[in-house]
Amino acid sequence: MKRSRFSEEQIIGILKEHQAGFSAADLCRKHGISDATFYKWRSRYGGMEVSDAKKLKSLEDENRRLKKLLAEQVLDNATLKEMLGKNF
């Protein structure tokens, strides 16, 4: 996945500028982002504080790690069942 040019703190700062009264088109031009990117950020980070965004990132990382562990465990179980199913 491509890494963003903007940190979560910067994204939330841009969204706060929008809440302060700047238009979305002006902010997009000022920061060099597309309208689609701005609205995607607003749907994801709208109403968040920096601490909330950090918690969200840590939860996403933990979820990714747990999904990986689960996939490995399922693969191990499938391998063991296959080996036990064969007659020696």
38 and 78 inside one domain:
no
What residues have CB less than 8 Å from 9, skipping those under 6 apart?
50, 53
How many other CB atoms sit within 10 Å of the CB of residue 12?
A: 20
Residue 10 lies in a domain: yes
Place of tokens 């700062």: 13
The reported pTM is 0.64
Residue 2 lies in a domain: yes
Q: What residue type is assigned to position 1 of the chain?
A: M
Tens of pLDDT, residue by residue over 30-66, are 999 999 999 999 998 888 888 988 898 899 999 999 9
Q: What pLDDT does residue 48 have?
A: 86
pLDDT band at 27, cuts 50/70/90? very high
34 and 66 inside one domain:
no
36 and 63 inside one domain:
no
* HSE-up of residue 24 (Cα within 13 Å, Cβ side): 9
Residue 75 lies in a domain: yes
Q: What pLDDT does residue 1 have?
A: 60
Distance CA 64, CA 8 (A): 19
Residue 69 is part of which domain span?
A: 58-88
- How many domains would you assign to the chain? 2
pLDDT band at 87, cuts 50/70/90? low
Residue 53 lies in a domain: no
1 and 40 inside one domain:
yes
